Amino acid sequence: MTTSSTTAEPAQGNQARRCAVCEYDLRGLEVPRCPECGAAFNPDAPPPAAVPWLSRREIGWWRAYWATVRLVLLRPRSFGAEAHRAVEVPLGEALRFRVATIAVAVASACATGLLIAVAEGEALLSPATAVGFAIGTAVAAGYLAMATVGVNSGPFAGGSVASDLRFTRLRPFACAGLATSVFVPLVVAFDLMVSRSGVDLFLSPFAVLMVGLNWWMGEVAYQHFGGRFGAARVFLFALMLPVLWLVFAVGIAAIGGLVALFVSLLINL
Ligand SMILES: [Zn+2]
């Protein structure tokens, strides 16, 4: 895999080098170190994209991960603009972010499932529950792996070959909204607690809906700001994406159902 993303592009001499951690303007410094946050950089290499995840070895993966989630969701314009700057985007790093985000979402789903199972008084150590959990986890992971693979609203229209490449390499970050699934088990726990005292708030469905909305928003905003696709295309993409996710969900649920049926036949043999 090539790590250079500066094909047929003018040198970035006229572009500001921004700190990859805090986006501080790094022009005209004597020492290759950000005066704002202290992160070191190599002045001779093309600067890395200003995505905190790419600096997680310096600032720690926890801080880098959540700073990246905030960037994609709260400042999508800045995030999308990285596709159009002469910066380095290591594809492997973006894919690792996607895997981490899928792991966060699956772990949140598992925690939610466990909470509900405990509240319903299920026997957690029974083979049936264990097998059910294993299948459920595999189905969730398979679904998210498929649904975060990234689709575009059309052929790239944003500019040079290099920016097209960066657009593709940055796209795995656009699934960042899924990370907000960490709040779902908390909301479900709150719902369950409150329902003990006889009040049903039903906040859990809204929490799940919010995660979907954040995911959708991140993907759509990236098409708009990163791909610079026209409004009509982005609008169509925004409508089609949930349909595509639904198709994936039905497909993977069918596979999961078949596996579950097969396993239950084996257990009952
Ligand atoms: Zn900095």
**CA of 67 relative to ligand 1 center, distance in Å:** 13
Ligand 1: distance of its center to the CA of 29 in Å? 12
How far does the centroid of ligand 1 lie from the alpha carbon of residue 35, in Å?
7
Name the amino acid, one letter, at 78. S
Render pLDDT for 24-63 as a digit per residue (tens, 0 to 9): 888 888 888 889 888 888 888 788 899 999 988 888 999 9
Query: Could you tell me the distance, in angstroms and rounded to a whole number, from the CA of residue 50 to the centre of ligand 1?
Result: 10
**Which single residue is written with the structure tokens 């925690």?**
111
Q: Does the pLDDT of residue 98 top 80, yes or no?
A: yes
| 94 CA from centroid of ligand 1 (Å) | 20
Say how many Å lie between the CA of residue 88 and the centre of ligand 1.
17
Using the predicted structure, report yes or no on whether residue 14 has a pLDDT greater than 50.
no
CA distance 35 to 33: 6
pLDDT at 15 (0 to 100): 54
Q: Is 29 exposed, middle or buried (0-12, 13-18, 19+ CB in 10 A)?
A: middle
- Give 183 Cα–ligand 1 centroid separation in angstroms: 29
Angle in degrees, CA 5, 57, 177, rounded to 5: 75
Phi, psi of 105 (to 5 degrees): -65, -40
Q: What's residue 6's pLDDT?
A: 40
pLDDT attached to residue 158 = 58
Considering only CA atoms, give the Rg of the chain.
22
Structure confidence at residue 254 (pLDDT): 94
Q: Residue 50: CB partners within 8 Å, gap ≥ 6?
A: 18, 19, 20, 23, 78, 82, 87
Distance 14 CA to ligand 1 centre (A): 20
Residue 179: what pLDDT? Answer: 97
Band (208; pLDDT cuts 50, 70, 90):
very high
Q: Residue 230: which pLDDT band, with cuts at 50, 70 and 90?
A: confident
- Taking the centre of ligand 1 as the mean of its atom positions, its distance from the CA of residue 89, in whole angstroms, is 18
Ligand 1 centre distance from Cα of residue 18 (Å): 8
Range with top average pLDDT, 5-14, 121-130, 205-214: 205-214
pTM over 0.85: no
Q: From the CA of 193, how far away is ligand 1's center (Å)?
A: 43
CA 79 to ligand 1 centroid distance, Å: 16
Q: What is the pLDDT of residue 125?
A: 73
Domain range annotation of the chain? 12-268
Residue 8 has pLDDT above 60, yes or no: no
CA distance 91 to 159: 19
Summarize the confidence of residues 243-262 as an average pLDDT.
92
Confidence of residue 177 (pLDDT cuts 50, 70, 90): very high
Measured in angstroms, how far is the CA atom of residue 17 from the centroid of ligand 1? 11
